[in-house]
A and B are shown apart, each in its own frame.
Chain A
Amino acid sequence: MKISAIITLKKDVLDPQGKVIHQTLEGMNFKNVNEVRQGKYFEIDVNENDPKKAKEIVEDMCEKLLANLVIENYKIIEIQ
């Protein structure tokens, strides 16, 4: 099964890259942007047919490696 997960910075963590992207967008005349936060996206193909189990495996991966829970949150966004 293919599982997609996104990792985002927690709300109170400074995201300087997001800020620069925001400023660049404004410089390009995208005037209606409130905030930009940059994150990471993973597609993981797991050798498991049970969606619930596959999701659990990727959640475990997120907690142990893919995200640093001091500063980041993870979310499983798609299972196919």
Chain B
Amino acid sequence: MKSSVITFPGSNCDRDMDVALKKFGFKNKMIWHNDNELPKSDLVVLPGGFSYGDYLRCGSVASKSKIMQSVINFAKSGGLVMGICNGFQILVETGLVPGVLLRNKYLEFICKNVFVKLDNKDNPYFKNLEKDIFKLHIAHNEGNYFCTEDQLKEIKDNNQVAIYYCNNDGKIEEEFNPNGSIKNIAGILNKEKNVLGMMPHPERMIDSCLSGEDGSLFFKNLLNNIK
């Protein structure tokens, strides 16, 4: 299976993502933001980092970069596009997934492990996963998910919430919300479920010695789902 990771100026999780994808069997290519065409891919990843120094709004400048038009076309034709952290911020700026990511509620850069609960598995990313609760890492300053009341209703009606922040038992409550996100939302899918944006980094949980294996479960499963 072929994947492409887009590198923007200021991306800093692009190589971690490359390592993760290759570890689980993807043939990955790194694509420069200024390229026009995506190579043939089964999965496109927008990695974490600080694209364009977070100027204007996080992800806003990257969302207008050359390669993004191909990424948008790829997503609109049903291709799998996953945005992690800054990649999620880029996705909301393109409008591929609804809402926006505001500054964290308590104005802190948050860097820690959190638990997230999958909302539904009726999508290519989570289908066939046995677990519901995952321990993943977050590291962000603008991860406070916000959308309008109307958008929230639409998101819920279409089962577009991908993951919620929770505790280790899967309880979704305000006290387990690290950044003020509306309804503890940590990740969102588009209506068609082929585009996923989420703040936590699965690529940082692929080694039991260094961190954890919950990211490994995610990548292995994703590869099997795409095959």
Contacts and interface: CB of A to CB of B under 8 A. Distances in A.
10 contacts: A16-B103, A16-B105, A16-B106, A17-B103, A17-B107, A66-B56, A68-B60, A68-B93, A70-B146, A71-B102
A20 B57 CA distance: 19
Identify the interface centre among B99, B100, B144, B180: most chain A CB within 10 Å of its CB.
Answer: B100
Interface in B144-165: 144, 146-148, 151
Interface string B128-155: 0000000000000000101110010000
A16 B93 CA distance: 21
Nearest to B144: A14
Given A68-B57, A68-B60, A70-B147, A13 B107 contact: no
Interface in B26-62: 56-57, 60
Q: Which 6 A-B pairs have the closest CB atoms?
A: A70-B100, A71-B100, A16-B107, A68-B100, A16-B103, A68-B57
Contacts of A14: 102, 105, 144, 146, 180
A20 B104 CA distance: 13
Contacts of B180: 14, 16
Interface string A14-25: 101100100000
A30 to B, nearest CB: 20
Interface residues of B, number: 19
Contacts of B107: 16-17, 20
Nearest to B57: A68
Nearest to B105: A16
Interface in B68-106: 93, 99-100, 102-106
